[in-house]
Amino acid sequence: MRLWDISDYQDLKADGFESNFNYFKNLIESLFKLQMNPAMAKSIAKSLKISTKLFWKKLSDDYKYFLEKYAVINGISRTELLYAIMFPDILSYFMVKAGKMNFRNIPDIFLGCTTSLLKSDENSTMHCRNLDYFGGSFWTAQHTIMTYRLANVVPSVNITTWGLPVIGITAVNEAGISQSVHMLFTQDVSLKGSFIMDLAYQVITKAECIEDVKKILKKRRTVSGWTIINYSHRENKGVISEISAKDIDFIEIDKPVFHYNNFYISEKLKKSEFYPSYIWIQNNHYRNKRLYELTKNKDIFNENDAVKLISDNNDYFLKDNDIFGHTVANSFTVSSTVIDFNKDCILVGDNPPPASIGVFKKYNLTDLFKGKLEEVGRNKTNHDEETYRIYELVVKVMDNLYSGKGYYSSLELINKSDLEIENSYFLQLLKSVLLIKVEDYIGAKKILKRIIESNKLDTYRNGNVKLLLGMIYDVIGERGKAIKIYKEILAQNSFFDLLDYAWKFYNKRCCKSKLQKIVPNFFLSFYLLV
């Protein structure tokens, strides 16, 4: 665990930050390259870089000044910095825009944050938080606590990675306001809105009570769908701020146990909510059900309970049959934190992805607000060695893809591993998609048939695997077998995205170009673009 203590702007200097920063700076272009031809990806990336000059102008003055100082001190351009900072907003914006153009997902591994509020006694609440994001091996190699305590701000403790100036995404300030941020999807998007990093900065550096939070946010709108969750530990109350490009709604937190994933709960904002696919609904529903299942019949929790909760890797449907799926802790969990302000402590996972599986280091908040990092205790989750090795492999493969290193090298990582991939439907599915990309359709077919024969999956996920198998049969000239599978999907499912594709391919065979548009997905594991 590293300390990045900012008591003066000169402290923004982050020696050796280049590898971390370059990865996040290049994320937009790298992920576009995965889903479209290189020329188009380069063109969109170039347009965005040109647009950063306009985006820069709309930043809040104090946040703009903070970023300018960081850029100058670390010798990078404002454009490069903003490119890294605005990535979450641009990703969400483009997913919604692409979704309106017939974007369809056949997903399997997920990116979805978790926030849980649990009482540790009658007057104290723990703010538990998993941040799911990209670049697992980059982020977790240098877990960092950034203490931001300039003279003109409310001092705050922020969880980030070395060299990435992220303030307020997972944080608590000296006034007792804790904060976590969640990505959502809405049809109401606009590049005229505020970037989420800017809003998170405004709240955590200025708010001293829940009313302050509302005043800061009430006139602001975002580029895309976002939620900011704040808990005032001194007032013993909290608020959820759900935002889109057109609207905002504040919801008081009035439950002793509260869990939040990546869905709007405001009736006002639900009306414009957008779902990339049914799997997004299923994922959030299963994770939420699992969280409440783990906390039922209990009102008071200790730190062991909190750590156990956010390190849970059981799928609500699959139980413990596969560590991949709709799980609270997953291979995208880059940071994991438990904040108990009234008990003067914070626990931070210091592990490779999932950051919540392994060792949690405990620190006194009083020390951190003074710029001191001194470990005062530890908590540890128990998982077998095989689990760690499986996570390590998947993170390597996905980071390899996001770094633009290609499908063959990613496939080679799996082939060189001595892990029994048959024990995980996800690992098999990931390998089958990589085989499709290198046009080994027979190898992919064999794996997909094995997944179906295992009979472990729910109807929807099983239908996704069947659809892929049917598409392969079409491409290799076995139309009769493909037709049989499409008929099964149409008879057994009521999920629109599956029915849509099954009906299309039932009437007109899937051609090779359609199958080749499947890629390991940067967000929902892989998708189909037609």
Asked whether the beta carbons of 225 and 194 are under 8 A apart, the reply is no
CA angle, 163 as apex, 160 and 166 as ends, to 5°?
A: 40
- pLDDT tens digit string along 477-526? 999 999 999 999 999 988 887 888 899 999 999 999 888 878 775 333 33
Alpha helices for 264-321 (secondary structure H): 267-270, 278-295, 303-310
Would you state the pLDDT for residue 375?
A: 97
Confidence of residue 530 (pLDDT cuts 50, 70, 90): very low
More confident position, 216 or 529: 216
Mean predicted lDDT score pLDDT of the chain: 88
- Average pLDDT rounded to a whole number, residues 19-32: 79
Phi-psi region of 358 (alpha: psi -120 to 50; beta: other; left: phi over 0): left
Q: How far is CA 284 from CA 196, 264, 328, 395, 496, in A?
A: 21, 11, 10, 22, 18
Confidence of residue 75 (pLDDT cuts 50, 70, 90): very high
The domains of the chain, with CATH numbers, are 1-399 (3.60.60.10), 406-529 (1.25.40.10)
- pLDDT tens digit string along 251-271? 999 888 999 999 999 999 999
- pLDDT tens digit string along 442-489? 999 999 999 999 888 888 888 989 999 999 999 999 999 999 999 999
Instruction: Report d(CA 382, CA 390) in Å as an integer.
Output: 15
pTM to 2 decimal places: 0.90
263: which DSSP letter? S
- H or E element: which one contains 482? helix 479-492
Alpha-carbon torsion angle 300, 302, 304, 308, nearest 10: 30
Would you state the pLDDT for residue 104?
A: 41
User: β-pairing, 143-148 with 2-6?
Assistant: parallel
More confident position, 79 or 320: 79
- Average pLDDT rounded to a whole number, residues 171-179: 99
Give backbone dihedrals phi and psi of 524, rounded to 5 degrees, phi first: -120, 25
Instruction: Report d(CA 194, CA 132) in Å as an integer.
Output: 21
Instruction: Give which of 224, 187, 26 is closest to 103, Cα–Cα.
Output: 187
Asked whether the beta carbons of 220 and 245 are under 8 A apart, the reply is no
- Average pLDDT rounded to a whole number, residues 406-425: 86
Would you state the pLDDT for residue 108?
A: 40
- Average pLDDT rounded to a whole number, residues 416-422: 85
